[in-house]
Amino acid sequence: MTTKRKEIAIACLLIMALAGCMKAMPPEKPALPTETVEPEKPTPPSPRLVASLQLTEQGRRLLEQGKTDNAIRVLEQAISLYPDNGQNYYYLAEAWLKKEVASEAKKFNQLAEMHLKDNTEWMNRVAQQANRIAELEK
Amino acid sequence: MMYKKILIGLLIALFLGTAAIMSYGWYFSTRIEERFSARRWSIPSKVYSDTTLLYPGQRINPELFQEKLLNLDYRSVSHLPSRKGEMRSSPSSLDIYLYDLKTPWQNREGFAVRITFAQERIQHIKRADNGQDIPILELEPEEIMLFFGSERERRQLVAIQEVPEHLIHAVLAAEDSRFYQHHGLDPRGILRAFITNLRYGSIKQGGSTLTQQLAKNYFLTPQRTITRKIKESLLSVVMEIKYQKDEILEIYLNEIYLGQKGSVSINGVGEASYFYFGKPVTELSRPESATLAGLIRAPNHYSPYQDKTRCRDRRNDVLRAMHAKGWLSEAKLQSDLKAQVDTVGYTVHGKKAPYFIDYLADQLNALYRPDALSSLGLSIYTTLDTQVQMAAEKALVKGLARLETLNPDLQRIQTEQQLQGAIIVMQPKTGYILAMVGGRSYSVSQFNRITQAKRQPGSAFKPFVYLASLDEFKPTSFLSNDSKTYTVEGKSWKPQNFQPVTAFTVTLRDALKMSYNLATVDLAMQTGLDHIVDVTSRFRFSTPMKPFPSLALGAFEVIPMELARAYCVFAADGVQPYPLSLKGVVNENGDILQQKHMDIERLISPAKAFIMNHMLQSVVTEGTARSLKIKDIHWPVAGKTGTTNEFRDAWFVGYTPDILALVWVGFDNVDSISATGSSAALPIWADLMKSIPQYISESKFKTPPGVEKRTVCSVTGLLFIENACPQPVEEYFLAKHVPTEYCPLHQKYGLGKQIFKGLKKVFNDD
């Protein structure tokens, strides 16, 4: 042990002895963690997601063609396959908007919002959709 | 004078006779009109499972997959499949010629595909004709049940325009070659038959025309009496007067009996074409048409499923008759005579998913009269996944047998008193019911323990108590796990833990994880029993819940399906789905009569659902359901065990974000099963889940907004101090409950400990 280190050690012991005579002092508090939700690591798309996206696209096309009930059926299949794919909820809300059932559209729009929260572009679309639902509700 | 009287008498008799014949004719005419203008046949409605999706990368259970294909009536061949319905399988590949996929929502022609497998996963799906990759493939729905009326007949109607000419010629050649020449009765045919029969000294040929045969089948009994023959003749003449020849022929072709599939008769050429050759009538070859025509005389005697040689001989007789009538050239006759009699084969399937069907029938009965279901030929599409259903049925039977082997006291001589169990499998986000097993054996007991039983849930109810507390409590909140006596309606009640414990103060998470009764009652009392009843009422339990402390321990009965549905809320991020079994109803013309879509309702916030999921994952990783780990369940699962007093009920409800299954085990007469939810129900759940790898995505429960993660001191539940708190743990909180205070318990030791650690480091360095 070097002399300098011995000095540090003695100083520490002294501090400890003094600390025993004093009211316990809380240690310096670390700053409160600021992160809210731990970002999830990007993972390669699973086969289920890939298959689900095929159905999502199919559902979207059916919606475009005006085959709303068919689109709902396909999008529900897509949800069965991969329930975390928020686009399915978005298009389901779109389908119910087309059927002018605001209450159903609203439920799916909220689910879309929950699942697409990390995607700014999609969140804009979800917000616009919410406005259209609100319009329908009036 | 005498002659005059006789003449008058004869005239009167003639008049009366004519009048009688005319009135009889008029009567028959009315009957025929009534019969033909109304619905001509009762066509049973068919119930179908859901379609099956296949995609590259999908895990499969090879055994169940193969069984599924057989149930879809695919047949194994040794050559490369060249006809619809053929398949050739090896452990690494499947060549299959798909049937047409016809649902109200899609219409796809069958085609040949090659599916390759590697390590029980689908590697590629390619079209056999051009090698093109198929990203997602849908297999046709499986027929799971027919709603028969009193007549157990299968029939697929065909229009006369669809019937190939060679089939018409074959039928006419076999049964009534002068059909288009006579007027219902054929004296030449009768004479020919009479002479033939006289020559052979026995009945070799019938003289009945097609119209007479139809009259007999449609309106008369099969007895051979003179009166019946007269009626038959009269009916035939009336029928010919009222209807066109093509109309009569069409009715005949749809009416005739052509064979037997188990207890069900095959009627009409449309159904027979599928039954014998696996194809629509439009695709029949000439020899196949002749085979069908040859069957009319004695369907079971000449059936290719009975005797191929006899069937072929009879077919060749028909072909020769066609040739004799000039409907078949010599060259074609010679080639057709050499053709093999190739049939598709058939399997008589037992009753599939009977409890599910009963549940479905209850809903259908609210929409249609029972006679409508057995006569209108509706197509009923459901959410059932027959692979999951098969897996659930097998898991239950195996699991109950295992329990009886482990504990022979559970065995009962009377099958009606046997140990029972029930399973429901649902998709929590859509509400689709994938499988339902309402009991051990439907033939023994039709009581559906998933939809009709009311049983105490025991600890399987606790999550709803914890959920109700989440506005005030957090997973790190402390509860008393000490014994207490409560007074309920003037009576004292002293709950106990399942096993004696030394931990008298436990966190909320640990209390749920270890299913502590005392801590749960403490939580319920602090939360407020009325509030718990209020919260649970939102989950739509139809059974009453009262604000008694025992509510917290699952003392109030629930219907298993309602409990499964309630758990779906956790798995589905706070949204409750309506349990769906029926997807759609379509009439014979393909018009959609009913269409059901997923129906959801938000009950709790995604954040609360996540907290519950996370705590219920602890049950599986470290708590009462931790034995799942040694049963090879290595993906994220949340769940809860349940055991009631005296071991009367054993429960396990387990789920992932994709699938939820509830298993119940018990005796109908509430005898003790001497086993817990963990030892009786959980192994069945694990067995089931491992059998349906296509539903196991290994997805985690996604963290929603409104939830925050912190590292806390396990002793105080407050923010942990590095080098001070001995056991830091990561915990999730609702945003409003995030701790802001540091652990006070270890603060005073904090400085000393840090200095000590610093010193240790210094000295160790030397």
- Strand positions, DSSP E, chain A: none
Mean per-residue pLDDT, B412-432: 95
- As given in the structure block, the two tokens for residue B524 are 């319920």
At B363, the amino acid letter reads: Q
Which residue of A25, A54, A73 is in closest CB contact with B136?
A: A54
Q: Active-site residue numbers of B?
A: 175, 459
B34, with CB counted inside 10 A (0-12, 13-18, 19+), is exposed
Nearest CA in chain A to B766: A1
Share of chain A above pLDDT 70, in %: 69
- The pTM assigned to this predicted structure is 0.84
Contact between B426 and B432 under an 8 Å Cβ cutoff? The reply is yes
What count of other Cβ atoms lies within 10 Å of the Cβ of residue A93? 27
Q: What is the mean pLDDT of chain B?
A: 90
Phi, psi (rounded to 5 degrees) for B742:
-85, 155
A54:B699 CB<8 A? no
Which residue of A12, A37, A111 is in closest CB contact with B755?
A: A12
pLDDT value, residue A11: 47
Residue B523 pLDDT grade (very low, low, confident, very high; cuts 50, 70, 90): very high
DSSP state, residue B362: H
Contact between B408 and B449 under an 8 Å Cβ cutoff? The reply is no
Quickly tell me which residue has 């499923």 as its tokens. B305
pLDDT value, residue B233: 81
At A54, the amino acid letter reads: Q
At B494, the amino acid letter reads: K
- As given in the structure block, the two tokens for residue B41 are 């046949």
Phi, psi (rounded to 5 degrees) for B634:
-115, 5
Share of chain B above pLDDT 70, in %: 95
pLDDT value, residue A28: 45
pLDDT value, residue B243: 87
- Taking Cα atoms as reference points, which of B580, B735, B599, B575 lies closest to residue A111? B575
B161-208 pLDDT tens trace: 999 999 999 999 999 888 998 888 878 777 777 777 677 766 556 668
A15:B699 CB<8 A? no
Binning chain A into helix, strand and coil, the percentages to the nearest 5 are: 70, 0, 30
Contact between B390 and B64 under an 8 Å Cβ cutoff? The reply is yes
B735:A114 CB<8 A? no
- As given in the structure block, the two tokens for residue B410 are 């559970």
Mean per-residue pLDDT, B91-117: 93
Phi, psi (rounded to 5 degrees) for B372:
-70, -40
Contact between B699 and B638 under an 8 Å Cβ cutoff? The reply is no
| C-alpha–C-alpha distance, residues B433 and B580, integer Å | 6
B575 vs A contacts (CB less than 8 Å): 107, 111
Chain B touched by A54 (CB under 8 Å): yes
B739-756 pLDDT tens trace: 998 988 877 655 555 566
pLDDT value, residue A17: 44
A73 vs B contacts (CB less than 8 Å): 105, 583, 597
B55:A37 CB<8 A? no
Chain B touched by A9 (CB under 8 Å): yes
pLDDT value, residue A1: 46
| C-alpha–C-alpha distance, residues B638 and B614, integer Å | 7
pLDDT value, residue B213: 87
Chain A residues 75-134 with a CB less than 8 Å from chain B: 76-77, 79-84, 107, 110-111, 114-115, 117
Which residue of A38, A107, A111 is in closest CB contact with B709?
A: A38
Which residue of A29, A46, A51 is in closest CB contact with B135?
A: A51
User: Helices B226-242 and B210-219, interaxial angle, to 10°?
Assistant: 110
Nearest CA in chain B to A20: B752
∠ CA B210-B213-B218, rounded to 5°: 120
- As given in the structure block, the two tokens for residue B22 are 């005319």
Q: Taking chain A, what is the end-to-end CA distance rounded to the nearest angstrom?
A: 81
B135 vs A contacts (CB less than 8 Å): 50-51, 54
Which residue of A12, A32, A76 is in closest CB contact with B597?
A: A76
How many CB contacts within 8 angstroms connect chain A with chain B?
119
A1:B595 CB<8 A? no
B311-364 pLDDT tens trace: 999 999 999 999 999 999 999 999 999 999 888 888 777 779 999 999 999 889
Contact between B138 and B51 under an 8 Å Cβ cutoff? The reply is yes
Share of chain A above pLDDT 90, in %: 58
Phi, psi (rounded to 5 degrees) for B450:
-85, -40
B136:A72 CB<8 A? no
Which residue of B53, B573, B601 is in closest CB contact with A77?
A: B53
Angstroms from B696 CA to nearest CA on chain A? 10
B105:A33 CB<8 A? no
A69:B758 CB<8 A? no
Contact between B157 and B42 under an 8 Å Cβ cutoff? The reply is no
Judged by average pLDDT, the poorest of A47-61, B254-268, B306-320, B430-444 is: B254-268
Contact between B531 and B496 under an 8 Å Cβ cutoff? The reply is no
Element (H, E) at B579: none
Best mutation site among B50, B51, B53, B658 for testing chain A: the one with the most A CBs within 10 Å?
B53
- As given in the structure block, the two tokens for residue B33 are 């009109």
Best mutation site among B655, B751, B759, B761 for testing chain A: the one with the most A CBs within 10 Å?
B751
Residue B736 pLDDT grade (very low, low, confident, very high; cuts 50, 70, 90): very high
Contact between B707 and B736 under an 8 Å Cβ cutoff? The reply is no
- Between strands B600-602 and B575-577, the pairing is antiparallel
- Taking Cα atoms as reference points, which of B667, B509, B639, B496 lies closest to residue B563? B639
Nearest CA in chain A to B698: A46
User: With 90 as the cut, is the pLDDT of residue B677 above it?
Assistant: yes
DSSP state, residue B626: G
Distance (Å) of CA B80 to CA B86, B94, B116, B118, B127: 8, 10, 15, 21, 13
Nearest CA in chain A to B711: A33
Contact between B277 and B259 under an 8 Å Cβ cutoff? The reply is no
Contact between B292 and B272 under an 8 Å Cβ cutoff? The reply is yes
Which residue of A19, A77, A84 is in closest CB contact with B751?
A: A19
At B763, the amino acid letter reads: F
Contact between B194 and B319 under an 8 Å Cβ cutoff? The reply is no
A26:B747 CB<8 A? yes
B742:A29 CB<8 A? yes
B735:A26 CB<8 A? no
Angstroms from B349 CA to nearest CA on chain A? 27
pLDDT value, residue B750: 52
| C-alpha–C-alpha distance, residues B702 and A38, integer Å | 11
Chain B touched by A14 (CB under 8 Å): no
Nearest CA in chain B to A10: B759
B742:A19 CB<8 A? no
B354-364 pLDDT tens trace: 999 999 998 89
Residue B90 pLDDT grade (very low, low, confident, very high; cuts 50, 70, 90): very high
- As given in the structure block, the two tokens for residue B40 are 């001509």
Chain B touched by A65 (CB under 8 Å): no
B64-85 pLDDT tens trace: 999 999 999 999 999 999 989 9
Contact between B504 and B415 under an 8 Å Cβ cutoff? The reply is no
Contact between A69 and A101 under an 8 Å Cβ cutoff? The reply is no
- As given in the structure block, the two tokens for residue A88 are 């399915």
A114:B705 CB<8 A? yes
Nearest CA in chain B to A62: B105
